[in-house]
Amino acid sequence: QKEVEQNSGPLSVPEGAIASLNCTYSDRGSQSFFWYRQYSGKSPELIMSIYSNGDKEDGRFTAQLNKASQYVSLLIRDSQPSDSATYLCSHTGANSKLTFGKGITLSVRP
């Protein structure tokens, strides 16, 4: 079964710290990788997408992809209380079907 594993949470970090969210996947055919943020009671919001090995930065967010090791991570620098949410790791294969991890809840302490 093609699965996405996210490190167990919840994760709690102090305001201003770096939050590191990690994810591994089993499908070597996975092509595109996405991090979604979901606030309680709301729909998933795209935070980052990454397709190639290496790092991709957007503001305080950096996505890292290593296809050889089959992991993808999300770093949030200068974490803010507003970053407190559930983060969903996901990827697509050849048919664009999104496979989600279970999600990890991040709490940023003021």
* Cα radius of gyration rounded to whole Å, the chain: 13
Binder to other proteins among 50, 72, 76, 106 (CB under 8 A)? 50
Binder to other proteins among 21, 88, 106, 108 (CB under 8 A)? 88
Is 95 a binding residue for other proteins by CB under 8 A? The answer is yes
Between the alpha carbon of residue 67 and those of residues 7, 11, 31, 39, 94, the distances in Å are: 18, 25, 9, 29, 15
Is 98 a binding residue for other proteins by CB under 8 A? The answer is yes
Is 51 a binding residue for other proteins by CB under 8 A? The answer is yes
The 3-class secondary structure across 28-61, one letter per residue, is: CCCCEEEEEEECCCCCCEEEEEECCCEEEEECCE
Q: Which is nearer to other proteins, 47 or 76 (CB)?
A: 47
Binding residues (CB under 8 A) for other proteins: these are 31-32, 34, 36, 42-46, 49-51, 88, 90, 92-98, 100-103
